[in-house]
Amino acid sequence: MSGKNFENLMNEIRKKIEGDEKRIYSQKVINEYKNPTNFGIIKNPDAKAEIKGPCGDTMKITLKLKDDLITDARFWTDGCGPTVSCGNMLTKMIKDKKVDEALAFKKNKLIIALDGLPKENLHCAKLATDTLHKALKKK
């Protein structure tokens, strides 16, 4: 196969994948997993937790706290795109929130913020919120 034919094939595959993504996921979900702003781990966090979900994805959340306020939040996952989206959106939503507000945070609020998730990915939101709650309860 020539270089030009290979390039054309790769472009066709990329377009098919992007079309499939748009049929399955909201634009917010796609944006969050393609451009995660809070991916990583905070060194010397004030609170942290790690949970392995039933699908095999692992979520870690690390937090910096000042008094009763979450001043920074990061996540790490080895999971799929929707898991990345949930981790990123969650950490964005809890920054500058009080610990009690974050403890009251439910997966449905995260799902709404992402403009929905397919049924088979709802567990990703639960994994993210469960990890957050575990981190805050251990602090």
| Domains located in the chain, CATH noted | 26-138 (3.90.1010.10)
Burial of 63 (0-12, 13-18, 19+ CB in 10 A): buried
pLDDT tens by residue, 52-111: 999 899 999 999 999 999 999 999 999 999 999 999 999 999 999 999 999 999 999 999
* Average of per-residue pLDDT values in the chain: 95
Read off the pTM. Answer: 0.90
Closest CA to 111 of 86, 94, 130, 80: 86
Neighbour-count burial for 41-56, b at 16+ CB within 10 Å, e otherwise: ebeebebbbebebeee
- The pLDDT, as a whole number, for residue 3 is 77
Interval 36-56 mean pLDDT? 96
Cβ 42 vs Cβ 125: under 8 Å: no
CA angle centred on 119, ends 32 and 114, rounded to 5°: 25
Band (pLDDT 50/70/90 cuts) for residue 139 is: low
Cβ 93 vs Cβ 106: under 8 Å: no
User: Cβ of 59: how many Cβ atoms within 10 Å?
Assistant: 27
